[in-house]
Chains A and B, each alone.
Chain A
């Protein structure tokens, strides 16, 4: 009976190691603090109505940023530092007690950390940020008021959140996380070698968020292909939208493979089947093939929108149109196509034979060609341009340096005989971090600092932003250049301890120092956001177009109205907004606007999906079955609801617009005649920031005044 009710979940399985107790204390305190804050400020209803149930892609985009940013700092980044610290201390004959301990982490704990780091950074940080950008920017860029299927979009977001919660569940209910590496290779991930629930947490956090990604991607393909403003042909679509389209098409192509593969490994673990086992006919190498058929394209799914971000930024800040936009678009399409046929280069050592290896080696080298085309279009755009070295532009330049290094080492790795040496070495780890940090993460940071005025109504502090960029750049070089070297010296990945005679320790120490500098960079990014909020009146973007931009998102106000555009624009060229500015903007004509209603169905379905996963993790079959029924009932109720849209009458639109224009006019009068980017030299520096915070803290302690800092 007890086993029926709670499955394998018992008191003994609850957290008892220092790191799980620490984690549950942290998340528990955070939850309590949030609940208290929301109750004291009476914001529950506001949160539910304005944010959680919202179908507005702009709000969903911001929620993606918040969740992904939190996961970056609280989990992924912290884990990176923990690993570097372990490796810096991990030499076998350090003096004193440290030598006997081989660092401060047990081998098993270290394995869980690198597994979780990989999963979280790819699924919950990078994917979250990329989906956030796509949600916020794509509808604005194509001149649409909403999405083709706002419901699928919210459902995708909430399934992503359910995955995030699942990946943190072992802090509360114990067990451990998977210790198998981020792709959980078979047969290591089978019940024989991973009997604990850690692997099941892996299965369900990836499965639930992966299905969310497929649904979100279907929605964005529909939106981009069917809802563009009149006149915007595919070739006139802005680069970021093109990158997003390529990325989303790849997502619907490969995420179903992931879903099917995870189901098979779930069957192996739950029903005792023999897909990837070593007994009764199972085939573990088939798992490796299947998972990399998804896994390799996945990194391109992440980087293609980032390519688009950089195309936008380099053209805006060089004050030129993108050089050879057709080559740029074809380059992105080429990357997307070739990326589907290179997966085997992750395991040349499988022993598939020279012919197979040669094919995949050549395909991998070919992928460098469209990528190089892209890099050249960006460099050619800067040529003879009037370059402004703003923060987004710095991220772009950093990207060119780091990403090209990553690309060149990628071509080295693509040579099968050489790869037998590089395989699973730290050289490989340094290579893909160059691409994922230099490409995706720099792209996300560039995109956020570029579009921040659009989503918040004020731009970010440029001075502190530049400090943050340089910390990232220097920290990155300091941690990953030694990693390339130590990899060539023979260090394999995922080592928690090594012989001191190898002479690797100084390099590991350098990596740790680099990691600390990156952490300072992240802290500065938080400072940058706070400093910008303090100064937000001065940084206010009243024009809606702070950078002198070229594409349609800059034609809206910052922040845009819920319906984005009062009149749907007509597009004649690629740089649609640039053209409109040259010709002068037409006076808006107000019309009835049809908008989707808010819905909580996505949240309910995700809660049930989470409970289903939880039931399967702990073998509580009744909970899983009840949750599946719950999902079906919610889905049916939603799809047969015929009243999902509402009309905003033209008069109402006009009234709202008048209020908004009046407010903009007032702000414009108080800060007359300058685009927000004009006075970047006046942004506060660190010293001033510290002074303001200190004075504020003093005021809080002495005079109990919370709000003094808003006087600026």
Chain B
């Protein structure tokens, strides 16, 4: 009888592990598809960034300090996100809330800076439809910003569920996927920082 209970339990554990494995793998595949969408936007930016049709280029518009500040905020948020994940694996609920809460605030600050930059451009008449350069800039950086926004939304809701349900295995898996997503956005941002902001000053 004991053997059977054990067998059932181990079968359940292996079922659970297999499901985890599948979901993680599927999420990686999804991230790759997302990366390919960004690849198109990068390629479009590479082709169009010189086509300003007489308007100002990146060198005149971008601020290095702003870009650096955004980068530091996002990289730090990736670090706190990693710490949050370690806490989640240990099952420490309060630390999870603290570290992911910090990640959320850093992400929000990043988003605020980005929106301020966008608003400034629009105010000066460098809108989405001003010329091909501005179109490709807003499409690329804006898509990243949209991903950050959805990441923040996802984080909020997951944390609310952690508060309500505690750290169960479903929510730990959600947090693991969320942190993958967050690190992925960090990597994309490093390319945006290099190709959009730094290359403008080369």
8 Å CB contact of A280 from B25, B44, B132: B132
B34 close to A264 (CB less than 8 A): no
B interface footprint on A212-234 (CB within 8 Å = 1, 0 otherwise) = 00100011011001110000000
Q: Does B36 contact A (CB under 8 A)?
A: yes
A286: Cβ under 8 A from any B Cβ: yes
Q: Are A632 and B36 in contact (CB under 8 A)?
A: no
**B161 and A640 contact, CB distance less than 8 A:** yes
Contact of A283 (CB < 8 Å), options: B40, B51, B170, B174: B51
Contact present for A273 and B22 (CB under 8 Å)? no
A174 to chain B, nearest CB (A): 28
Cβ A261 vs Cβ B40 within 8 A: yes
A317 contacts the other chain (CB 8 A): no
| Contact assessment for A218 and B26 in the assembled complex, using a CB-CB cutoff below 8 Å | yes
- Report the minimum CB–CB distance from B150 to chain A (whole Å): 8
Enumerate B88-138 residues with CB–CB distance to A below 8 Å.
128-133, 135-136, 138
State A273–B53 Cα separation when bound (angstroms). Answer: 13
Kindly identify which residue among A222, A259, A279 contacts B37, using a CB–CB cutoff of 8 Å: A259
Instruction: Give chain A nearest CB distance to B151 CB in angstroms.
Output: 13
A255, B33: Cβ atoms closer than 8 Å: yes
Which chain A residues in 145-194 approach chain B with CB under 8 Å?
Answer: 148-149, 152
**Per-position contact with B for A247-285: 1 when CB-CB < 8 Å, else 0?**
000001101110111011001000111110101111100
Q: Which residues of B contact A260 (CB under 8 A)?
A: 36-37, 40-41
B48 on the A face (CB < 8 A): yes
Q: Are B135 and A275 in contact (CB under 8 A)?
A: yes
Contact of A274 with B40 in the complex, beta carbons under 8 Å = no
Residue B195 lies at the interface, judged by CB distance under 8 Å to chain A: no
When A259-B37, A267-B139, A274-B132 are in contact, do A222 and B25 touch as well, CB less than 8 Å?
yes
Interface assignment of A642: CB less than 8 Å from any CB of chain B? yes
A281 and B133 contact, Cβ closer than 8 Å, known pairs A227-B22, A252-B32, A264-B139: yes
Q: In the complex the two chains form, is B36's CB within 8 Å of A257's CB?
A: yes
Rounded to whole angstroms, the CA-CA distance of A136 and B30 in the bound complex is 23
> Are B40 and A640 in contact (CB-based, < 8 A)?
no
Within B17-57, the residues touching A (CB, 8 Å) are 18, 21-23, 25-26, 29-30, 32-34, 36-37, 39-41, 43-44, 47-48, 51-53
Separation of A260 and B136 alpha carbons in the complex (Å): 12
Q: Does B15 contact A (CB under 8 A)?
A: yes
Contact B135 A253 (CB under 8 A): no
State whether B139 touches A281 (Cβ < 8 A).
no
Given contacts A226-B18, A271-B128, A642-B170, contact A148 B26 (CB under 8 A): yes
| Interface status of A11 (Cβ within 8 A of chain B) | no
Nearest-Cβ distance from residue B41 to partner chain A, whole angstroms = 6
Interface residues of A in 362-414 (CB under 8 A from B): none
Complex: how many Å from CA A388 to CA B129?
64
A256 engages B36 (CB within 8 Å): yes
B residues 124-175 near A (Cβ < 8 Å) are 128-133, 135-136, 138-139, 153, 157, 161, 168, 170, 174
Structural contact, B157 and A271, CB atoms closer than 8 A:
no
Which residues in A have their C-beta under 8 angstroms from that of B22? Answer: 148-149, 222, 226-227
Residue from B40, B128, B157 whose CB has the most chain A CB atoms within 10 Å = B40
Interface status of A290 (Cβ within 8 A of chain B): yes
Q: How far is the CB of A644 from chain B (nearest CB, A)?
A: 10
Residue of B nearest to A287 (CB): B44
User: How many of B's residues come within 8 Å of A, CB to CB?
Assistant: 40
Contact assessment for B44 and A264 in the assembled complex, using a CB-CB cutoff below 8 Å: yes
User: Are A221 and B29 in contact (CB-based, < 8 A)?
Assistant: yes
A594 interface residue (CB < 8 Å to B): yes
Q: Does A681 contact B (CB under 8 A)?
A: no
**In the bound complex, CA of A693 to CA of B157 (Å):** 61
B29 touches A252 (CB 8 A): yes
Chain A nearest CB from B56 CB (Å) reads 13
Minimal beta-carbon separation of A631 from chain B (angstroms) = 11
Check B129–A273 contact: CB distance below 8 A.
yes
Kindly name the residue among A148, A222, A226 whose own CB sees the greatest number of chain B CB atoms within 10 A. A222
- With the chains together, A148 CA to B52 CA distance in Å? 47
Q: How far is the CA of A310 from the CA of B91 in the complex (A)?
A: 52
Give the complex CA separation of A582 and B131 in angstroms: 70
In the complex the two chains form, is A252's CB within 8 Å of B33's CB?
Answer: yes
Given the interface pairs A253-B36, A256-B33, A275-B44, the reply to whether A636 lies near B129 with Cβ below 8 Å is: no
Neighbouring B residues of A632 by C-beta, 8 Å: 153
Q: For the complex, what is the distance from the CA of A148 to the CA of B32, rounded to whole Å? A: 18
Q: Are B48 and A283 in contact (CB under 8 A)?
A: yes
| A281 surroundings in chain B (CB, below 8 A) | 48, 51-53, 131-133
Question: Given A256-B33, A274-B135, does the pair A149, B129 have CB atoms closer than 8 Å?
Answer: no
Q: Smallest distance from the beta carbon of B145 to chain A beta carbons, Å?
A: 15
- By beta carbon, the residue of chain B nearest A277 is B132
Given known A267-B135, A273-B129, A275-B44, contact A280–B29 (CB-CB < 8 A) = no
Find B53's partner among A222, A227, A264, A280 (CB 8 Å cutoff).
A280
Of all chain B residues, the one with the shortest Cβ separation from A226 is: B22
> Known interface pairs A252-B33, A256-B40. Does A275 touch B25 (Cβ–Cβ under 8 Å)?
no
Contacts of A219 in B (CB 8 A): 26
Docked pose: A640 CA to B133 CA in angstroms: 40
Partner among A226, A256, A639 whose Cβ is within 8 Å of the Cβ of B25: A226
Q: State in angstroms the CA–CA spacing of A253 and B161 once bound together.
A: 34
With beta carbons under 8 angstroms apart, the residue of B30, B36, B128 that contacts A267 is: B128
Which residues on A sit within 8 Å (CB–CB) of B23?
149
> Could you say which residues of chain B place their CB within 8 Å of the CB of A279?
53
Q: Which residues of A contact B129 (CB under 8 A)?
A: 271-274
- B-side contacts of A275, CB under 8 Å: 44, 48, 132, 135-136, 139
Give bound CA distance, A218 to B23, whole Å: 11
Known A-B contacts A256-B34, A273-B129; the reply to A222 vs B48 at CB < 8 A is no
In this complex, what residue of A is CB-closest to B40? Answer: A260
Bound CA span A642–B25, Å: 19
How long is the Cα–Cα vector from A272 to B34 in the complex, in angstroms? Answer: 25
1/0 contact string of A444-470 vs chain B (CB within 8 Å): 000000000000000000000000000
CB-CB under 8 A from A225, the residues of chain B are 25
Contacts of B29 in A (CB 8 A): 218, 221-222, 252
Max chain B Cβ within 10 angstroms of own Cβ: one of A214, A252, A260, A283? A260
Is the beta-carbon distance between B33 and A218 smaller than 8 angstroms?
yes
A229 to chain B, nearest CB (A): 13
Which residues of the partner chain B approach A639 to less than 8 Å between Cβ atoms?
Answer: 174
Identify the closest chain A residue to B160 (Cβ).
Answer: A640
Q: Is the CB of A286 within 8 A of B26?
A: no
Assembled-state Cα–Cα distance A272/B161 (Å): 41
* Inter-subunit contact A222/B26 (CB<8 Å): yes
30 A-B residue pairings within 8 Å (CB atoms): A218-B29, A221-B26, A221-B29, A225-B25, A252-B29, A252-B33, A255-B33, A256-B33, A256-B37, A259-B37, A260-B40, A261-B40, A264-B40, A264-B44, A267-B135, A271-B128, A273-B128, A273-B129, A274-B129, A274-B135, A275-B139, A280-B51, A281-B53, A282-B48, A283-B132, A286-B48, A636-B157, A639-B174, A640-B174, A642-B168
9 further A-B contacts with Cβ under 8 Å, apart from A152-B26, A252-B32, A261-B40, are A218-B29, A226-B18, A267-B128, A267-B135, A275-B132, A279-B53, A281-B53, A282-B135, A636-B157
* Interface residues of B, Cβ cutoff 8 Å to A: 15, 18, 21-23, 25-26, 29-30, 32-34, 36-37, 39-41, 43-44, 47-48, 51-53, 128-133, 135-136, 138-139, 153, 157, 161, 168, 170, 174
Q: Which 8 A-B pairs have the closest CB atoms?
A: A281-B51, A281-B132, A273-B135, A260-B40, A256-B36, A272-B129, A280-B53, A222-B26
